[in-house]
Structure 1
Amino acid sequence: MNEAPFAVVGGGLAGCECALRLADAGLSVVLFEQKPDHRSPAHVSDKLAELVCSNSLRSDDIASGIGLLKAELRALGSAFMACADATRVPAGKALAVDREAFAEAMTRRILEHPRITLRYRRIDSLDDPELASMETVVIAAGPVASDGLSASLADVVGERHCYFYDAIAPIVWTHSLNQDIVFRASRYGQEKGEKGGDYLNCPMNRDEYMAFYEALLGAEKVAAHDFEKEKHFEGCMPIEALAERGPKTLTFGPLKPVGFEDPRTGRRPWAVLQLRAENANADACNLVGCQTKLTYAEQARIFRMVPGLEQAEFARFGSMHRNTYVNAPQALTEDLRLVARPRFLLAGQITGVEGYVESAACGLWAALLLVAQAQGRNLPAPPPTTALGALLQHLRTPVKRFQPSNAHFGLMPELAERAKKQDRKALYSARAQADFAQWKAAHFPGGID
C-alpha cells in the first residue's frame, strides 16, 4: 500500500469515523480540524464529533430505516456507534446520548490512535499547499463548512452549490422546571405497563396552546443574510415555521398529545411539549421538536409561556445555521469522488445525506472504499434494499432538484410481494437484513477488524 498519508478535512462525525477506519486498516491519516481557533455559529465545544443539534440519534427499532442503518453500522464495526452505545441516555425507543461524554469518547479515540495526526488548522481551499502531498483528501467539513472552503468547493463543482437552513432546539436546566406541572411519561407508557418514562412532559390546555401558538406567529426571528434564500429541510423545520402552516400542525406534529394523560386532570392534554435528557445525570433537557430561529429574547419569553417552563433557565438557546451540500448525482462519482477533482472525496452531510447517523455512515463508507482500493480489491456498494445501500443510491440518482435525505424505507425498491400496510416495515427490514448479511459475507469473509 502507498505510504503517502491520507488527509481528512473536518473532525465531525463523518471525519472522525473515516479517519479511525483508515487508521485501523494501517493507513496514515492527517485529520484537519478548525477548532478551537475557528468555530462555526453552530459549535460551542472544542471537542471533536460535536453534536450540534439534538442529542438523539433517533429510533433504534430495527423496523425503521434509521434503526436498520444503525444495525448495519454496528455490523461494520463503526466507532461512532460504539461510542454512542457506550454513552446512551434514556430516550424510550430512541438512541440518545450524553453529548459531552460522546464527544469526549470520540476525541479520545482520535488522540490515542498512533496512525492519526490531528492538526488544529482550518482548510480554506481545495488548493491548500498542505493537501498537495496527500495521497487522497476526504472533505468531511460537515454542513457548516467554512466560507472559504465552501466557495472553493463551489468553484470546482462548476455551479453554485445548494444549501438549506437547519435549526437547533433550546436546552433548559432540569432544576428550573415546575415539578408541580411537568410529569414523567413515555407516549402510551401507561398502556404498556411502564413505570415513569424517559421523557418529561409539559401539558397545555386549549387556551394555553393557542396563546403559545399566537406568540410564535408574531415573534421576532433572526433574519437570513441578504444573499441567502432560506430553504429548510423538512425533517428539521423551525417550530415557528411549522406554526405558520396552521394551528393544528404542531398538535399533529412535535406537540401532539396522543398517548398522554395529564396527572392533574386525568384527561389527555390539548398539546404536550416533551423534554429529553441531555446527559447521563439528566441535569439538562432538550425541548423536543422545538428547533427555532427566534431571537434569544423571544425564545425566553415564548417558551416560558408553556406550563412547567415559567421559570425555565436556558443552558443553550436555539439557533439557525446554514447547511452546505453539493448536487451529489452531478458533482460526485459513484465512489464519492469529485468529478472535477478525483483526488478529493466528499463524506458526510456535505454529500447530501441528512442526520447524525447518516453522516457517520457516509464517512465510514468513504473509508471502506479507500481501504479496499489501497488493498487492490473492488468493493461494490451494499444493495439498495439495505439501509446503507439505499442511502448511497440516493446520492447517485439524478433528479430535477436534488435534496438531502435521511435513511428511510422510501429510498428502497418496492417489495416484490403485496403486503398489508402494517406488515410492510417488517418485510422491508427482514429483506434488508438478509441482503446485508449476504453482501457482508461476500466482501468481508474474514469479518470486520
Structure 2
Amino acid sequence: MDKTLHIVGGGMAGSDAAWQAANAGVPVVLHEMRPKVGTFAHQTGDLAEMVCSNSFRSDDDEQNAVGLLHWEMRTAGSLIMAMADRHRLPAGGALAVDRQAFARDVTAALRDHPNITIEHGEITDLPDDGQWIFATGPLTSPALGAAIARATGTDRLAFFDAIAPIVHADSIDMTRAWRQSRYDKGDTEEERTAYINCPMDRDQHEAFIDALLAAEKTEFHEGEDAPYFDGCLPIEVMAERGRETLRHGPMKPVGLTNPHNPDVKAYAVVQLRRDNALGTLYNMVGFQTKMKYGAQTSVFRMIPGLEEARFARLGGIHRNTFLNSPSLLDTGMRLRSRPHIRFAGQVTGVEGYVESAAMGLLAGRLAAAEINSRPLPPPPSDSAMGALIHHITGGAEAKTFQPMNVNFGLFRPVDGLKGGRRGRRDRYKAYTDRAKAAWQEWLALETQGNLAVT
C-alpha cells in the first residue's frame, strides 16, 4: 500500500499539513501550481505567501480566541507559528510578521525536509485513489474548482475578498503623522510605537468619505453576485452603510493622542502597520478596497500624512471560493463522497491566515494518523480547533453557511463552571483554560513523536 500523502496547495494550510504529516514519518508530495501558474494576488513562487495582510491578529491566549488558536498551534509544533514567531514585527498586542522573510523560511523548511517533495504544477481534477488533502485556498484554479463542483454535485459558494494597499514608509509625512499603538499597548517601546497614525479632523473626514463614495470602482462580471465576507469588507462598502461606519471601524480615533497637537482629539485616524522587518513598508490597516488604481492614489493621498505617498502595492479585490462544508465534509475533514480526499484551509469555510493554517495542521495530523494505522478522533469541541471543526462540519446551518473566524461564540457556554463566573474577562479565561486542557488531552492521544520545529 502506497503511504504517500499528496497535498495540493502550498499556502498556510498546505504548508502546515505537509509539515505535520512529514514529521509523523509520512512521505509527502506537496503540489503547488505557482510559479508555473500564477494568480493575480501572489507575487512570488514562495510557499505560504501572505497576500492580504501581514497580521495574525491578537496573540493574547487568555482573552482572545485567535490568540488561543496561536497557543494550540504552537503546542502542536506548527511550522506556520514557528516562522511567524521567528519573523515577528512590533504590532502592539498583535502578531504581525515580515511577510517576505516568513514565506522564504517556510519554503526553505519544507524544501529541506527529508520526507517532503515539492512538485510545481497545476492539479486539475480530483483523484480516484491515494490519500489527498486539497488546501487550494480562496484562489482555487478554475479547472480544479469545476472538478470539485462536479464531484460534490453542488455549486461552489463564493464571496469577494479584498486586499489593502502597502505604502513606502519614507513617503509618509511624519510631521503630520505619528507612531503609537492604540492605548500604548505593548511591553516594549518598539511595540508601543508599532503603528503610524494619520489624523483627520471632521472636514477632512467628510471630504474623504465623499471622495471614497464617488470614486470609480471595480465592476464585477455578469453572474459574480456573491456576498462580501463581513470580516474583510472593502472600505467603500463600509462607507455605503453609513458615513460614520469607518469611524467605528478601521478609522476609529480612540486610544490615540497626536503629539503634534495633543490637546485636540482627532475626528478619525488612519493606521498603518509595519509590513517588513526593515520598516520600509507599511500596510494600511483595514483599508481593503475595490477602487480602481487611479482612484486609489488620488483618494488615499487625501489622508493627512499621505499626500506624497508612494504605493508598493495598491489594493484589489478577487473572487474567493469555499465549500459548503457542513453538507460535504465529515468530522475528519474528509469528503463524504470520496473519503480518501480531505479538504483544509480557507476553502473549507474558515476565514483568516491563522484559522486556515490551523485546519491544515489538523488535516495533516489526521491524515498521517490514518496512514500510520493509528486513526485519531477529531479534536474536542471545547478546544479552539475543535470548535472550528465542529462549526464547519455540522455546527453551522448548511443553507446559510458563510466563512467564519474563530471566536468564543463557537464555544460551549461556560455558565456554571468554577463558581459560575459570568464577567467577560472571567468567562474568556474560563474558555481558554478549558480549551487548553482539552487540547493537551487530545495531543496526548498521539504517539507519533516530536513535531517541534528544529
Query: Equivalent of 1:439, from 437, 442, 445?
Result: 442
Query: Counterpart amino acid of 1:363?
Result: G
Residue 194 of structure 1 and its aligned partner are, at CA, apart by 5.5
Residue 3 of structure 1 and its aligned partner are, at CA, apart by 3.7
* RMSD, matched Cα: 1.8
Whether the 8 Å CA contact 1:143–1:325 is kept in 2: the answer is yes
**Structure 1's 118 and 191: CA in aligned 2 closer, same or farther, altered over 3 A?**
closer
Residue 78 of structure 1 and its aligned partner are, at CA, apart by 0.6
Q: Distance in 2 between matches of 1:413 and 1:190?
A: 30
Tell me whether 1:268 sits opposite 2:271 in the alignment. Answer: no
CA displacement, residues 296-354 of structure 1 (integer Å, 9 cap, x when unaligned): 11110100000000000000000111111101011112211112222211111111111
Query: Counterpart amino acid of 2:51?
Result: V
1:76 alignment counterpart: 76
Residue 377 of structure 1 and its aligned partner are, at CA, apart by 2.1
Whether the 8 Å CA contact 2:92–2:186 is kept in 1: the answer is no
Residues 67-146 of structure 1 correspond to what in structure 2 (within 5 A)? 67-127=67-127, 135-146=130-141
Whether the 8 Å CA contact 2:253–2:269 is kept in 1: the answer is yes
Q: Distance in 1 between matches of 2:126 and 2:358?
A: 23
**Structure 1's 115 and 441: CA in aligned 2 closer, same or farther, altered over 3 A?**
closer
TM-score (norm 1): 0.95
Residue 446 of structure 1 and its aligned partner are, at CA, apart by 6.5
Tell me whether 1:221 sits opposite 2:221 in the alignment. Answer: no
Whether the 8 Å CA contact 2:3–2:371 is kept in 1: the answer is no
Q: Distance in 2 between matches of 1:18 and 1:41?
A: 25
Whether the 8 Å CA contact 1:3–1:27 is kept in 2: the answer is no
Residue 135 of structure 1 and its aligned partner are, at CA, apart by 2.3
1:425 alignment counterpart: 428
CA displacement, residues 197-252 of structure 1 (integer Å, 9 cap, x when unaligned): 11000000000111111111111111112121131111100011101111111111
Residues 368-383 of structure 1 correspond to what in structure 2 (within 5 A)? 368-383=365-380
1:242 alignment counterpart: 238
SS of aligned partner of 1:54: coil
Q: Say how many residue pairs are matched.
A: 443
The percent of aligned pairs where both chains have the same amino acid is 46
Q: Distance in 2 between matches of 1:43 and 1:53?
A: 10
Tell me whether 1:54 sits opposite 2:53 in the alignment. Answer: yes
Q: Distance in 1 between matches of 2:211 and 2:28?
A: 51
Q: Distance in 2 between matches of 1:287 and 1:332?
A: 36
2:400 alignment counterpart: 401
Query: Counterpart amino acid of 2:424?
Result: K
**Structure 1's 297 and 92: CA in aligned 2 closer, same or farther, altered over 3 A?**
same
TM-score (norm 2): 0.94
Residues 249-260 of structure 1 correspond to what in structure 2 (within 5 A)? 249-260=245-256
Whether the 8 Å CA contact 1:136–1:343 is kept in 2: the answer is yes
Whether the 8 Å CA contact 2:163–2:288 is kept in 1: the answer is yes
Query: Counterpart amino acid of 1:94?
Result: A
Residue 10 of structure 1 and its aligned partner are, at CA, apart by 0.8
Query: Equivalent of 1:318, from 315, 318, 332?
Result: 315
1:390 alignment counterpart: 387
Q: Distance in 2 between matches of 1:447 and 1:43?
A: 33
**Structure 1's 443 and 37: CA in aligned 2 closer, same or farther, altered over 3 A?**
closer
CA displacement, residues 15-52 of structure 1 (integer Å, 9 cap, x when unaligned): 11111221122211111111112112211112111101
Query: Counterpart amino acid of 1:25?
Result: A
Q: Distance in 1 between matches of 2:15 and 2:24?
A: 14
CA displacement, residues 143-182 of structure 1 (integer Å, 9 cap, x when unaligned): 1100000111011111101011110000010000011101
Query: Counterpart amino acid of 2:4?
Result: P
Query: Equivalent of 2:149, from 151, 154, 159?
Result: 154
Residue 438 of structure 1 and its aligned partner are, at CA, apart by 2.8
Query: Structure 1 regions of 5+ residues with no counterpart?
Result: none
2:34 alignment counterpart: 35
1:197 alignment counterpart: 193
Q: Distance in 2 between matches of 1:125 and 1:445?
A: 31
Whether the 8 Å CA contact 1:239–1:291 is kept in 2: the answer is yes
Query: Counterpart amino acid of 2:99?
Result: R
Tell me whether 1:278 sits opposite 2:275 in the alignment. Answer: yes
2:291 alignment counterpart: 294
Q: Distance in 2 between matches of 1:330 and 1:354?
A: 18
SS of aligned partner of 2:19: helix
Query: Structure 2 regions of 5+ residues with no counterpart?
Result: none
1:66 alignment counterpart: 66
Q: Distance in 2 between matches of 1:442 and 1:7?
A: 24
